[in-house]
Structure 1
Amino acid sequence: MAELTNLPPLRIVAIGGGGGSAQVLLGTRPFFAERTAVIAVTDSGRSTGAARTIAAIPAPGDLRNLLATLAADPNAILPRLMQHRLRSPAVPLLDGMALGNLILGGLAQMEGDFAAAVALARQMVGCPEQVFPVATTNTHLCAELIDGRVVKEEIAVRALGKPPIRRLFLDPPAAAYPPALEAIMAADLVVLGPGSFYTSLLATLCFDGIVTALRETSATIVFVCNTTAQPGQTDGMSIADHVTRLVDVIGPGVLDVALINDASGLHPAVVARYSAAGLTPLIVTETDRQAIRALGVEPLVRDLAEPDPGPRELWNKADTIRHDPQTLGLALWKIALDRHDQATG
């Protein structure tokens, strides 16, 4: 491993949803001088969907969550206010609304630009990372299922009990935000995931320009595989299936590393609790490893999960086994250093 003093400042870009990208960037703060998030904007769930209707903006929820999490002091009043959910039974549209969604909507109307609204909110909470929406177009995620049916809007794409997803598309089609593409091109490491596989990660890849940037950047590209299957999205998919689908989207020879959580040591009670909710822990097998290597991708298996916090109540979303930010950040830093050593001989 190279001496740290001989290394240039490292640049990382995290692509996906607000929760997973926040874990990546929290963990990599000690190691990467420039850290950028490129965040999904097609959610149409209850609070975010209502905010989209009220303010005519792309989905703000993932951005709000990431900004509040990455705030200079997440326990300060403003980040807590952004995460606060209104209790308004008398006005059902606002009942459960995350106030930060409305703040982003108000800023977008004031500035006439959604990206400017995100930049202002970032300044307000003192977030040290650069944060970009993947796009500024108010578009919707749609999917063609394997039976030929088409479902429209993200909440239907992740609905339970439907056939598997064949492909994703946007209605209307939309281009990626140019500064997001520039960040990808300038990065040393690009991290895809973790997070909702179809509705966060693959959704960001639907925007024109993102896949091309991933193919053309000199950055090392890492996929952080989820720890569990996701009901309505990845039911029955193995770890190798996840990697295969991602490679199908971005093309061969683009993805360098699949970083996989070693779930073999999970306590049976923890496995049973998640499995009962349809969140089957993903266990890597030798067959997975061989299939991933056959795709030209290096599988790296590490114990990346945070200590079990017990059951959590999440707003309108299923719980999952989360990655530990510090452990994940260290693993990503080591990948970046190893690739730097290889490039410099």
Structure 2
Amino acid sequence: MTTNRLLKQTMRTIRQESRHLAPTWLGQWFKWLAPGLFVKRWMLISAGGVLLVSLGLAIWVKLTPIFYLMQFAADLLETLSRLLPSYVSGPLVLIAGVLLILWGQTRTFGSITNVLMTDRDEELVDVLLTARRLNRGPRIVTIGGGTGLSTLLRGLKRSSANITAIVTVADDGGSSGRLRREIGGLPPGDIRNCIAALADEEKLLTELFQYRFKAGDGLVGHSFGNLFLTVLSDITGDFEQAITASSKVLAVRGQVLPATLSDVCLWAELEDGRRIEGESSITKANGKIVRIGCTPPNPPALPRALEALYKADYIVIGPGSLYTSVIPNLLAPEIANAIAERQVPCVYVCNIMTQPGETDGYSVADHIRAIDIACGKPLFDAVLVQKQPPSAKALIRYAEEQSHPVGVDRDAVTKLGRRIIRADVMHEDEETGLVRHDSERLARVLLRWYGRRSRES
């Protein structure tokens, strides 16, 4: 009795476990039949190859062994049909064949998964489906720099792998500025941030790339990624190749490109007549900017950046510091001309708060005018602005720094021929009161607007 009870309990447990496992197992298996994976066709081709090999061998040996083999199989089937009716033996043989096929294919894909997915919890088929979905995403070109652009890229990479980030190389402050002055070459800071933002969830490598030294003679304040890019560009002799190699290390979705390979230096003319040289000095001057440019003037754009713009389905400018992150990219006339010529949706993501020493008292229309004046022509047809204002706590915190929400002057924006997209794309840190764009919300709103525009056209 004890043995029978134990057997019944074991069978009951097995049935319960199989109920839970079967749907998951079957679901994972049927995913391999999803369209677009390019797996089914190769399996059928392989099966056809096996049949051709068998046929070739049969012809080569003049069918003699094949004849006896088929005769043996016929005798065996005849014997089975006498022992078991065809309505029993047929399904049994069919089920046995299906089980062998499933077992063989499962072990095959399992072996492939063990080799390719050693450090990931996802199933191989899920990774392939995700890659297929991302590769079919729109070709998006983003233009800017600083933390604003990297925030946008973190959200967009979840919807498309066809992303190109065109990044300013006018930075001359912090670690990038020190490397630029002491070693020469282009500043790597904004490039590094964008590469890390587009990394394919390689957490350890991304943290390494963003690591900032806290001790060491001459190392304090430098980030490992900045040093890595600087050294690699010296080894390869080409900053562009250094970026490409770094992107491969971090498995970047898309590509990160400098706007130009020229060693540009920003300058700004202020309302009080002063001329300020250097990107980091412009904000510190605390004056109203009336004109901005760079030395040397009209730097040539990177050819790959122009190629990406001419192939783009969607162009996003910003977010980022207006005069020191966004406009510097557009001072390369070829980039501004390429954007203006493209008849594709183009959006400017306006900052949520004004930036002291750069955009004091600016409205949305003021941002648009500044870009139009710097480029000599309108580039985008819509502007994305934050809908709800920050909390009272955040407003008080920013007011102490002479920063306020960017005002939305609808009539002025309309007169400039732009559409306004109003949406809640803000993230506010409850502890510090810092206001930033939320990467997921921002990407979702931009992609939704792009989908709507695509349907309209």
Task: Say yes or no: TM over 0.5.
Answer: yes
| Larger helix percent | 2
Distance verdict in 2 for CA 1:90–1:33, change over 3 Å: closer
Q: Give a deviation string over 1:139-180, Cα, whole Å, max 9, x none.
A: 21111222332111111112142x211111111232111111
Determine if contact 1:60/1:104 at 8 Å carries over to the other structure.
Answer: yes
Q: What residue in structure 1 maps to residue 321 of structure 2? A: 196
Q: Which runs of 5+ in 1 are unaligned?
A: 313-319
- Report the secondary structure of 1:212's partner residue: helix
**Among 61, 72, 80, which residue is 2:207 paired with?**
80
* 1:24-103 paired onto structure 2 within 5 Å: 24-73=152-201, 75-76=203-204, 78-88=205-215, 90-91=217-218, 94-103=219-228
Of 276, 279, 282, the residue aligned with 2:406 is: 282
- Structure 2: segments with no counterpart, 5+ residues: 1-132
Residue 253 of structure 1 deviates from its aligned partner by 4.8
For 1:166 and 1:85, the matched residues in 2 are separated by: 36
Verify the 8 A CA contact 2:316 2:346 in the aligned structure 1. Answer: yes
Please give the alpha-carbon distance, in whole angstroms, between the structure 2 residues aligned to 1:308 and 1:80.
22
Aligned to 2:395: 271
Cα offsets for 1:272-299 (capped at 9, x unmatched): 1122123322243xxx111111111001
Q: Which residue of 2 aligns with 1:242?
A: 367
The alpha carbon displacement at 1:21 in A equals 1.8
Q: Which residue of 2 aligns with 1:16?
A: 144
Corresponding residue for 1:138? 263
Q: Secondary structure at the match of 1:176?
A: coil
Q: State whether residues 184 and 213 of structure 1, in contact with CA within 8 Å, keep that contact through their aligned partners in structure 2.
A: yes
CA distance in 1, matches of 2:265, 2:430: 34
Shift of 1:55: 3.1
- 1:337 aligned residue: 451
CA distance in structure 2 between the aligned counterparts of 1:143 and 1:48, rounded to whole angstroms: 20
Of all paired residues, the percent bearing the same amino acid is 34
Quote how far apart the aligned CAs of 1:33 are. Answer: 4.6
Q: Show the counterpart of 2:413.
A: 292
Task: Say whether the 8 Å CA contact 1:215–1:250 is kept in structure 2.
Answer: no
- Structure number with bigger Rg: 2
Please tell me whether the aligned partners of residues 263 and 281 of structure 1 are also in contact (alpha carbons under 8 angstroms).
no
Q: CA RMSD in A?
A: 1.9
The DSSP-based 3-state class of the residue aligned with 1:306 is: strand
Query: Normalized against structure 1, the TM-score is what?
Result: 0.88
The correspondence of residues 166-245 of structure 1 with structure 2, limited to 5 A, is: 166-173=290-297, 174-245=299-370
Q: 1:252 to 1:109 in 2, by over 3 A?
A: closer
Kept after mapping to 2: 8 A contact 1:190/1:222: yes
Q: Counterparts of 1:98 and 1:207 in 2: how far apart (Å)?
A: 28
C-alpha distance in structure 2 between counterparts of 1:233 and 1:241, whole Å: 12
Residue 115 of structure 1: how far off its partner (Å): 0.8
State the match for 2:442 in structure 1: 328
2: CA distance, partners of 1:73 / 1:54 = 33
Instruction: Report how many residues are paired.
Output: 322
1:304 paired to 2:425: yes
Post-superposition shift, 1:69?
2.5
8 Å CA contact 2:196, 2:250 repeated in 1: yes
In 2: Cα distance, 1:159 partner to 1:134 partner: 24
Q: Tell me how far apart the structure 1 counterparts of residues 335 and 197 of structure 2 sit (CA, whole Å).
A: 25
Per the normalisation by structure 2, the TM-score is 0.67
What is the CA deviation profile of residues 247-287 of structure 1, one whole-angstrom value per residue up to 9, with x for unaligned ones? 233345531110001133x2211211122123322243xxx
Alignment check: 8 A CA contact 2:276 2:285 kept:
no
Q: Distance in 1 between matches of 2:386 and 2:345?
A: 19
Q: Structure 1 residue 257 and structure 2 residue 371: aligned?
A: no
Q: 1:249 and 1:338 mapped to 2: Cα distance?
A: 30
CA–CA distance in structure 1, aligned partners of residues 211 and 340 of structure 2: 39
Whichever residue aligns with residue 448 of structure 2, its letter is K
Deviation per CA, 1:309-329: give whole Å up to 9, x if none: 4328xxxxxxx5211111111
- Letter of the structure 1 residue corresponding to residue 439 of structure 2: P
1:175-213 CA distances to partner (integer Å, 9 max, x unpaired)? Answer: 111111111121111111111111000111112311111
Looking at structure 2, the residues matched to 239 and 125 of structure 1 have their Cα atoms a distance apart, in angstroms, of 36
**Take 2:430 and 2:200, find their aligned partners in 1: how far apart are those partners?**
24
Aligned partners of 2:217 and 2:160: how far apart in 1? Answer: 47
1:333 to partner: Cα distance: 0.9
2:437 aligned counterpart, secondary structure: coil
Using the TM superposition, name which of 33-42 and 15-24 deviates more.
15-24
Q: Does the 8 Å CA contact 1:24/1:328 hold for their aligned counterparts?
A: yes
